[in-house]
Amino acid sequence: MTLKDKQFIKWVKNKFKNSEVFEEDLQNFNIEQVQNILKFQQTHPSYTHTPLYSLSNLANHLGVSMIQAKDESQRFGLNAFKVLGGIYAIAKYIANQLGEEIEDLSFDKLRDPSVKQRLGDVTFISATDGNHGRGVAWAARELGFKSVIYMPKGSSSQRLQAIRNEGALAEIQDVNYDDTVRICARLAEKNGWVMVQDTAWEGYDEIPLWIMQGYSAMALEIVEQWNQTSEQPPTHLFLQAGVGSFAAGIAGYFLRVYGEQAPKIVIVEPDQADCFYQSFITEKGERQFVGGAMATEMAGLACGEPNTEAFKLLRSYASGVLSCDDAISTVGMRVYGNPLKGDPSIVSGESGSVTLGAVYYLRKFMREHSITVDLELHEDARILVINTEGDTDEENYRKIVWDGFLPVQ
Ligand SMILES: Cc1ncc(COP(=O)(O)O)c(C=O)c1O
């Protein structure tokens, strides 16, 4: 098989999607609640909203109406969006311990020595491929608590160091992401530590929900920014998925705001860790797991077990899943970083770029293909993508963007 014959993108349409939007499915994404979460996040002195860029020359080039990209590489100086979830989950945990509401709290109040006196020493533990753990370690340190962070086999040493720099006790394990989560759950139980995991499973769903809600605050920012530049909402929302918490957090808020007029929600996964794709191709749409090494450049998306709560929402409301070869992510990194004149240059890492890479590839090389047609990715499309991380592994970034590693042609 030559590179030309290779299938870089697979698509499954979601045949389990609801025909209408039911409010009871969206109770966790109440607009006022999300506003309060964003207000809390804004109490941190280094908070600024991240930019929503218009890639209008790229949209022209690809023959679509609009492409806007939210750049989360600029979030809190941490090079990824994930901290939005960790911050809120830790704050909400502390608020509950204190018997307070999050809307009455700020970073300053939580940093007050009296809080530590009342709570004693708390250690937060989490498993991560990099970004989530860095966010948890950062939030714990900011609030004066300890953190322990474990990473799966093959994790990048730069990402490990970034977590240690936030004061966490961090180690790489000899197992994959999902098994690392299980190790952390056991340690939390044994030592009385608080597990702040960004995925839910049977019996563990409260903290993961707070994490998803933390991500929804980004969707609130996006809606406000989008409305400043366009009178019509996006038609397509491309969302990358590891365990699906991010996609569900963003999708939940958009569904809440736009109801039946919500954009098409398209899940994008690496083909080596495509647990949503594998679930949606089954006859009944039951949650499927992908195991083993999950060897993909998209480290942040190398998760084989969907979050139970995120899965429920996405199964009901996503239009389908794109399962992508690593080359879709690498082309996305190059397109982001080397824009057409007039568009901004955006530094996008392996997990951040795959959605733009998919849009580019479908419009450039598969315009007449049934996937593109089925997605209605045509000239009227108003597309929203989110660059969820910057160059969190700088050496790999250069290998891909400078040296041309993993081409699509
Ligand atoms: C950069 C980046 N994008 C997207 C995701 C996907 O998030 P989730 O695992 O909630 O699906 C991750 C997860 O770690 C990530 O690090």
Show which of 140, 175, 202 is a domain's final residue.
Answer: 202
Average pLDDT score over the chain: 96
Q: How far is the CA of 266 from the centre of ligand 1 (A)?
A: 15
Compute the average pLDDT of residues 103-131.
Answer: 94
* CB-based burial, 171-202: b 16+ in 10 Å, e otherwise: eebeebbbbbbebbbebbeeeebbbbbbbbbe
Report the Cα–Cα distance between both ends of the chain, in Å, rounded: 13
Q: Is the pLDDT of residue 91 over 80?
A: yes
What confidence category does residue 73 fall into, taking pLDDT thresholds of 50, 70 and 90? very high
Using an 8 Å Cβ cutoff, are 237 and 251 in contact? Answer: yes
Compute the average pLDDT of residues 63-73.
Answer: 98
Question: Is residue 3 a part of any domain in this protein?
Answer: no
Residues 6+ apart with CB under 8 A from 157: none
**Same domain, yes or no, for 339 and 370?**
yes
Please give the number of the atom of ligand 1 that sits closest to the Cα of 245.
Answer: 10
**Same domain, yes or no, for 173 and 294?**
no
Question: Is residue 2 a part of any domain in this protein?
Answer: no
Q: Is the pLDDT of residue 27 over 60?
A: yes
* Residue range of the domain that includes 391: 9-80+208-401
What confidence category does residue 409 fall into, taking pLDDT thresholds of 50, 70 and 90? confident
**Same domain, yes or no, for 285 and 218?**
yes
Given ligand 1 and candidates 72, 199, 246, which is best to mutate, with the most ligand atoms within 8 Å of its CB?
A: 246
177/155 Cα distance (integer angstroms): 10
**Same domain, yes or no, for 88 and 37?**
no
Question: Is residue 406 a part of any domain in this protein?
Answer: no
Residue nearest to atom 13 of ligand 1 (CA): 300
pLDDT of residue 6: 79
Count, in order, helices (H) and strands (E) of the chain. 16, 11
Q: Is the CB of residue 243 below 6 angstroms from any atom belonging to ligand 1? A: yes
**Same domain, yes or no, for 298 and 397?**
yes
Q: Catalytic residue, from 71, 129, 198, 391: name it.
A: 129
Number of domains forming the structure of the chain: 2
Percent of the residues in the chain that have a pLDDT greater than 90, as a whole number: 97
What confidence category does residue 3 fall into, taking pLDDT thresholds of 50, 70 and 90? low
Q: Is the CB of residue 132 below 6 angstroms from any atom belonging to ligand 1? A: yes
Chain segment 344-375, per-residue pLDDT in tens: 999 999 999 999 999 999 999 999 999 999 99
- Nearest CA to 358 among 391, 323, 382? 323
Q: Is the pLDDT of residue 190 over 70?
A: yes
Residue where the block lists tokens 């979030």: 75
Please name every residue paired with 238 in a beta bridge, in sequence order, or none if there are none.
266
CATH of the domain at 253: 3.40.50.1100
pLDDT of residue 75: 95
Question: Is residue 193 a part of any domain in this protein?
Answer: yes
Burial (CB < 10 A; 0-12, 13-18, 19+), residue 77, is: exposed
Show which of 202, 230, 251 is a domain's final residue.
Answer: 202
Compute the average pLDDT of residues 20-31.
Answer: 97
* Four-residue CA torsion sign, 393, 174, 323, 325: positive
